[in-house]
Amino acid sequence: MSQPQDFGFGEEEAMLRDAARKFLADNLPTDALHKLVADESDPHRSRDAKWQPELWQQMVELGWTMLAVPESAGGLGMNAVAVAALCEEAGRAAFPSPLLPTVNATYLLAACGSVAANASLEAIVGGASATLAITNTAGSWEEADCDVQFADGKLTGSAGFVQDAQKADYLLVKADNGNGLGLYWLARDASGVNVAADAIVDLTRDQARVVFDGAEATEVSSDAVSALGQAMPAIWTMVAADMVGAGEWELQTTAEYARTRKQFDREIGFFQAVKHPLVDGMVEIDQSRSLVYNAACAIDHEPGRATRYAHMAKSSASDMASFVSGRAVQFHGGIGFTWECYVHLYFKRQNHNAVLWGDGAWHRARLAADLMDAA
C-alpha cells in the first residue's frame, strides 16, 4: 500500500484548511488572543483556563471537531492530512481549545474498535470534547508507568499532564484492570474525579493532575497497548502540525519586524546575523511541514510506516519549535522580551509542545530502534 503523491490533499481538504484559517483569523486575531489569555501578567496568576467556549461551539457546528470520527460512527471520516491541516491552523492562531486532545481521543477511540468506543465517538460527533489521561504524574505514558487502577467498574489513582482538562467534557483514561491495561471513558465532572489544575507556563493551554477516587467509568478497550500503538502516530503527528503552524506565525511575524525595525539606519533584516537564522528557521519549518503531511498521509495509506514517519515529524517539529521560538524572541530585541509583545504566547506554546509526547531526541531514539535494530 503506497501513498498518493499529493498526500491525499485534494480540493475538499484545501477548502477546509482555508476556511479554518479565515475563521480563526476573523474570530481570534492575535491581539484579541493576547487580551484573552494574557490579561493577567502576574506569575502567580489564576490557573483557570482562558478560552472562548462559544468559538469552540461554532467549530463544533461547522463539524470540524468530528473530522477524524469515522463515518461508521456518524463522523466525517476525513483523512488525517485534513485533520493535520486543521491542527496546523489552530497552531498558527495559538488557539486555546480542546481541539488537539479531542482529536487525540478520537484516534484512540477509533483504534479501540469496540461498541462502547463507538458510543464515545458518537458523543464527540454530538459536540463533546475529550482529553487523554494516559500519562502518569512523572510524565511517562510507557506501558509500565500507569498509576490508575480499574476494578469493579471504578477508577482509582492519578494521572498527570492531562491537556486542556478544564476544557474537556470527557476523559479517556489508561488504567490497569488486573489483566493488563485498558482504556476507560467517563465525564470529567463525574463524581470521584478530582481535576487539580497545574500552574503552567503556556498561556494558551490548561493542564491538570486528575485524581480518581472510585469514579465509575466505561471500558472502551481491554487492550490499551495495541490501541495506543495504533493511535500514537496520529497523536504525534497532530501536535507536530500545531507546531508547524505556530512556527510559521513566528517566522512571518519576526520577518515582518525585521523588514520594518531600524537600527544603525537600516532595517535589521539587512543584517545576515538576523537574515540567515531566519532562513534556517524557514528551512526547518518546511522540512517539518513536509514530514507532517507525509506522516499524516501514512496514517491512512501506509499504516505500516505511520509510526516511523510520525517519529520523524515530531522530532523535526520539536527541534524546529525550540529554535524558531528562541530566534523570534531574540530578534524582537528588548520588546520581544516583554509581556506586551505577542511573541511570548507562541514561545510558550511551542516549548510546551516541544516536550509533549516526547521531545526530538526521544523520537530519534525510537526511530533508531525501528530502523537500526530491526534487521
Site for a copy of itself in 274-303 (CB under 8 A): 276
- How far is the first Cα of the chain from the last one, in angstroms, to the nearest whole number? 21
Work out whether 271 is an interface residue with a copy of itself (CB under 8 A).
Answer: yes
3-state secondary structure 281-327: HHHHHHHHHHHHHHHHHHHHHCHHHHHHHHHHHHHHHHHHHHHHHHH
Task: Check residue 344 for interaction with other proteins (CB under 8 A).
Answer: yes
Q: Does 34 bind other proteins (CB under 8 A)?
A: no
Among residues 4 and 126, whose Cβ is nearest to other proteins?
4
Given 57, 191, 263, 272, the residue binding a copy of itself (CB under 8 A): 272
Angstrom CA distances, 3 to 14, 292, 312, stand at 18, 14, 17
Say whether residue 362 binds a copy of itself (CB under 8 A).
Answer: no
Residues 149-178 that bind other proteins (CB under 8 A): 160-161
**Residues of span 279-298 touching other proteins by CB under 8 A:** 279-280, 282-283, 286-291, 293-294
In this structure, is the dihedral angle defined by the CA atoms of residues 250, 254, 255 and 256, taken in order, positive or negative? positive
DSSP letter at 28 equals S
* Shortest CB 275 distance to a copy of itself, Å: 8
- Using CB under 8 A as the binding rule, the residues of this chain from 57 to 116 that contact other proteins are none
Q: What does 22 bind: a copy of itself, other proteins, none (CB cut-off 5 to 8 Å by kind)?
A: none
**Residue 304: which of a copy of itself, other proteins, none does it interact with, CB under 5 to 8 A by kind?**
none
Residue 161 binding: pick among other proteins, a copy of itself, none (C-beta 5-8 Å cut-off by kind): other proteins
Which whole-number Å values give the CA distances from 146 to 173, 175, 225, 231, in the listed order?
A: 10, 7, 12, 18
Q: Which of 17, 166, 96 is nearest to 348 (CA)?
A: 96
Binding characters for other proteins, 121-150, by CB under 8 A (x = yes)? --------------x-xxxxxx-xx-----
> Contact between 271 and other proteins (CB under 8 A)?
yes
32 binds, among other proteins, a copy of itself, none (CB under 5 to 8 A by kind): none
Burial grade of 183 (CB within 10 A; 0-12, 13-18, 19 or more)? buried
Q: Residue 32 in 3-state DSSP?
A: helix
Q: What is the rounded distance in angstroms from the CA atom of residue 105 to the CA atom of residue 154? A: 20
Q: What is the C-alpha separation between 321 and 202, in angstroms, rounded? A: 14
Amino acid symbol at 63: G
- Note whether 1 binds other proteins by CB under 8 A: no
For the chain, state the CA radius of gyration.
20
Instruction: Using the minimum distance from each CB to other proteins, give the nearer residue, 37 or 110.
Output: 37
Q: Which of 70, 160 has the CB closer to other proteins?
A: 160
Nearer to other proteins, 64 or 161 (CB): 161
* Closest-CA residue to 100 (of 88, 87, 111): 87
* Binding segment (CB under 8 A) for a copy of itself, from list 25-33, 72-80, 109-117, 272-280: 272-280
> Binding of other proteins at residue 25 (CB under 8 A)?
no
Interface positions with a copy of itself (CB under 8 A): 271-273, 276
